[in-house]
Structure 1
Amino acid sequence: MTGGARTPADARAWARAGTELLLDAAAGLDEAALHAPSTLPGWSRGHVVAHVAANADALGNLVHWAATGERTPMYASAEERAAGIAKGGTLSAGELRSWLTASADKLAAGLDGLTDEQWRREVVTAQGRTVAATELPWMRAREVCVHAVDLGTGVVAFADLPRGFLAALVEEIRGRRGLTGLPEGPLPEVAAWLAGRPHSLADAPVLGPWL
C-alpha cells in the first residue's frame, strides 16, 4: 500500500479537489434530495452540507488566529458546533448551497493570504490539539473529501478521491485507532473501512465512525 507521507502543498491541493467534488455533488440536489437521508445515521444531506459549511467558518477562525495572533477558537462552544449542523434541517436548498460555496471561498481566500511566518503560527483545534497553521488545509481536506462521499448521491465514492489523500488518511486513522495491521484490499476500501464507512472488505471487523 502506498505510504501516507504528505506535504502542506499536497493538503492544499486535496482540499481544493475535495471542495470541487463536494460542490459538484451538492449542486444538483433539489429541495427533496438535499433533505433526504445521507449515509451518516440520523443526518440528512442538508446536515452534512451545513456541517461542512460551518467547518469552513470555524477553520476561518483559526486562519484569523494565524494571521493576527489573536486567539480565536474554532467554535465558541460545543453547542455552537451542534447549532451549525442543526441548520441543515431548517435552511432551504438554495440557502445551504450558498452557505457552502461562500464559506469555502472565504476560507480558501484566507488560507491563500497567509504569509510564511503566519503559516508557522500555532493554533488550537476544536479537539484541543495545538498545531501549526500548516495543518489547516489537511483538516479541511479530510472534511470535504470524506463528507463528499457521505452525501450518498452516488456521484462521489472513496475511489474518486485523490490516491495520495487516501494514503495519508489511512496512515492517520490507523495511528489514531492504534492499529498495527490492516486488512488486504484496494486502498479506497481500506480507507472507507478505517473511517467507519461502508466498504467491500470481507471479514473486516466493524469500526465506529471517524470524523
Structure 2
Amino acid sequence: MTRSFDDARRWAELGTDLVIEAVAGFDDEAYDAPSGLPGWQRRQLVAHVAANADALGNLVHWAATGEETPMYASPGERAAGIARGLGMPAADLTGWLRRSAAELAASTAGLTEGQWRTPVVTAQGRTVPATELPWMRSREVCVHAVDLDTGITFADLPADFLGALCDDVIAKRAQAPGPALRLTETGTGEVRELPGDGEPTVLTGPLAEITAYLTGRGHALTAADGGPVPPLGPWL
C-alpha cells in the first residue's frame, strides 16, 4: 500500500494522542502493571515512547541544522531511556511523555521543504530522508498504544495505516529466513505474500488480525486446517 508523507504525519499525531489518552490518570500501580508485551511493564513502554520522541528530535535537529546528531549518543542510551522510566513517579513519567511529544511536534513543524529532504541516519544505521521520521514515529506510537493493553486494539487504528504497516513488516521479514505466507484480507480480498521456506501457509482474516500476527502480537488467525499459524521471529 502506498503511503504519503501527509499520511505518516496524520498517523503519528493520532498514535501519539492514543498513547497520551491511554495513560491519562495512570498512577504508579497502573504503570507497574504488565503491558501486552511479555516482560515489559507499561512504564517501560511509556518511557520507550518518550525516549523515542527525544531521539527522533535529534534527527530533526540534524535535518534543520546540518549538524550530525545521532538518535542515540551510545549503544546503551536506548536501554537507559527505558530504565529511566522505572524510577520515575507516575506524574513525572506522564509529564515526560507529553513534553517529549510536544517538543517533537514543534520541531518537525518548523522544518522547511528542503530540510525535510535532508539525509539522516537511523538507530539501525539506515540513511533515509527526514521525510521518513513521521513514519518511524507512527509505527512506535500506534503499535505501542495497542501494547499498553488498556483496551486499544489494532482494529481501532486506521485501515490505511494497518495496510502500510503490513507492507513494511513484510518487506523487513522477507530479508530474513522464515515461513512462506499467503495472507488474504477478509472483506477486500487483498492478498499479501511473504516469501520464505516451503509452500506458503494460507491465512485469511481481518486486516487488524493479520497486522497483529505479522508484528508478533496476539491474534485470532488460524491456518486453513484450523491448526496453529507458523511462529514468526522478531520483527524489529
Q: What range is the shorter-chain TM-score in?
A: over 0.9
Does the 8 Å CA contact 1:44/1:88 hold for their aligned counterparts?
no
Unpaired runs of 5+ residues, structure 2, are 175-179, 184-202, 223-227
Q: What secondary structure is seen at the aligned counterpart in 2 of 1:128?
A: coil
1:146-172 per-position Cα deviation (integer Å, ceiling 9, x unaligned): 001111112x11111111110000000
Q: Output the amino acid matched with 1:169.
A: L
Does the 8 Å CA contact 1:174/1:180 hold for their aligned counterparts?
no
Q: What secondary structure is seen at the aligned counterpart in 2 of 1:164?
A: helix
Asked which structure has the greater CA Rg, the reply is 2
- Supply the RMSD in Å over aligned alpha carbons: 1.1
Runs of 4+ in 1 over 4 A off after TM superposition: none
Aligned-residue offset at 1:43: 1.1
1:61-106 per-position Cα deviation (integer Å, ceiling 9, x unaligned): 0000000000000001121110001122111110110000000000
Q: Distance in 1 between matches of 2:20 and 2:162?
A: 19
1:123-179 per-position Cα deviation (integer Å, ceiling 9, x unaligned): 00000000000000000000000001111112x111111111100000000111015
Aligned identity (percent) is 62
Does the 8 Å CA contact 1:120/1:134 hold for their aligned counterparts?
yes
Q: Output the amino acid matched with 1:161.
A: L
TM-score, with length taken from structure 2: 0.85
Q: Distance in 1 between matches of 2:90 and 2:234?
A: 26
Q: What secondary structure is seen at the aligned counterpart in 1 of 2:182?
A: coil
Higher relative contact order (CA 8 A, sep 6+): 1
Q: Does 1:191 align with 2:216?
A: no
1:181 aligned partner: 182
- After superposition, the Cα gap between the structure-2 partners of 1:29 and 1:210, relative to the gap in structure 1 and judged at 3 Å, is farther
Choose from 200, 203, 206 the match for 2:220. 200
Greater strand percent: which structure? 2
Greater helix percent: which structure? 1
Unpaired runs of 5+ residues, structure 1, are none
